Every structure is written in structure tokens, then in C-alpha cells.
Amino acid sequence: MQFQVVFLGTAGSMPTPTRSLPCIAIRIMGELILFDCGEGAQRQIIRAGLGFPSKLRIFISHLHGDHVLGLPGMLQTLSLLGREVPLEIYGPPGVRDFIDAVSTTVRFLLTFDIIVNEVSEGLVFEGQKYVVRASWVDHTIPCLAYAIEEKPKPGTFYPEKALALGVPKGPLWKRLQMGSPVKLSNGRIITPNQVLGPPKPGVKVVYSGDTRPCRSVIELARNADLLIHEATFDDSLVDRAGRDGHSTASQAAEVALKAKAKRLALIHVSARYEDKLELILSQAKRVFPNTFLAEDFQVIDFYPKFAIGRVGHESAS
């Protein structure tokens, strides 16, 4: 089982010596999902050792430059690597025009098709093992927050129930554990609910995009295992945050608290705090103690247990 979050870019608006522009990678069962694609995202992927798998999808929150200007470089890199599998890109209305403009004005040969999906709120993608949902947030231009949720997993398997029903130990047990009914030699059908406990919820991670604090993010992040929320400014600039369509550290923490999220990761921090990051973190932790300030190349693993580490380093709980 794999569900891993890799922070590739955690700065806001402009990069700093230690932080690249917004890009969050999710590795889930052999697939790679990107939320936003700031400048140099493909270099961050290479440095992180993530590779460019065929199952790659990109979800764009909005069309401000710091969130999308990495797409042209990403497309060129994928072409130079000889990609042939179509690339799926999701985002708000306008993302197709942006991709078309890049394709017609930046002179490089695309070796693959681009499938652009302009989406609104609700279910925007469903895979075999997970779904992606979106909600509109409160920014200065149309902007989406995204939630990626594992589908519920089969509950605890009870061997004694299986034996009592006449299911012999072996391959039939495995099929029942995976959620499939089985047929016994006498023709009797045994269903998973007869030998399994209640389904177990999967991991849920929410990415806010750029936003003022708003109800839609609270609802999207309800009971999330991890909320990744922008915290562009410290609390003294709350009026500036409101005018610019952003959140302060404490406002992000209030969202996590109201959503009953398990953990909060702060990103999109203004470059003005490059030497004062503790200020942002301390303000948020006063409201929501289980907060951390995400850094480029930080890695969150959810299996076999929650752990925080860095690319190329051992994880620590």
C-alpha cells in the first residue's frame, strides 16, 4: 500500500533560495498526481527522485502564474523523455486556452496528446482506488481546492467466521479479504460482509489552492488526514490577506480546526518570511497545535503508519 505526499514547492508568488513555487506531488499505488505546477516543477520532481510515470495527472487550482508557469517546461521535458501516453490536465475554465497558447507559441515537438478537462466543483476524477473532488474557494480569480480520497478498504477479516461458513483456508479467504464473493464446492455463495468487519476509510488529503478562509474548504476538508492550506501572511497583515485573496497563519489554522482535520501543513508562505518562518508556525499552532510548516522535499508517508521525513532521508513519526 502506498500513499505519499511530497512537497515540491511551498513558496508563494515568487521563489526563495530554499522554496520553489507551488507544486504538491501525491504518490498513490504507482501513480503520480500533481496539484499545481509552479516554475521548475520538473526539476523538483527529478531532484526528489519521483520519475515521470505513465500514470501522471496534473490538477491546476487557478491560473495565476506561480501555479501554472511550470507547465510549459513540464510538457517539454516529458516530450524530450519520449512520452507517448496521453497526459491528463484538470483545472478551472481557461486552462485549455493556456495549454493551447503554450502549444502554439512555444516551439517544441509534443510526443503525446494532452487531454484537458475543465472542471467545476464536485467529483472531477474517479480511479480504481481513489477519487478526486473539487470545491470553489474564495480568491481573486476562479480557484479550486482539491481533495484526494482513497476509496474505503475492506474491513477486518474474521477467519473463524469463514471456517464456520465452510470456507476452506486458502485462495478463497484472500478473495473475500479483497471484497469479492466466493462460491463453495456445494454451490453456496459467501459474500464479504459475512466474514468482514465494517469498511475502513481510506486516506484523505486536501489542497486548498489560494484562498481566503472559507466554508467550502472547511467542508471539503472535513475529517481529512491532512489539510494542506496556504498561509501567505502573518496575522498582523490580516487586512492585506483579505484584499489579496489569501489567508493568514491563524486563519488557516481556524479552517483546520473547524474541519476537524487531523493535521495541517502550511504552504504558500510569502518570501518576506524567509528568515521569520517561526512566526508563521507559532501563530498557527496557537489555534491548531497539530500544525507543521511544510518545506520543499518534505515527505509524508501514511503507510504503514504516519511519518514525516525528507527525500533521501529516513522518516520520523
Give catalytic residues, as residue numbers: 66
The strand pairing partners of 135, in sequence order, are 145
Contact present, 76 and 46 (Cβ < 8 Å): no
Contact present, 80 and 100 (Cβ < 8 Å): no
Phi-psi region of 136 (alpha: psi -120 to 50; beta: other; left: phi over 0): beta
Query: What distance in Å separates the CA atoms of residue 212 and residue 143, rounded to the nearest whole number?
Result: 11
Place of cell 501522471: 56
In Å, the largest CA–CA distance within the chain is: 73
Let me know if 59 is exposed, middle or buried by CB neighbors in 10 A (0-12, 13-18, 19+): buried
Q: Helix, strand, coil % (nearest 5) of the chain?
A: 30, 30, 45
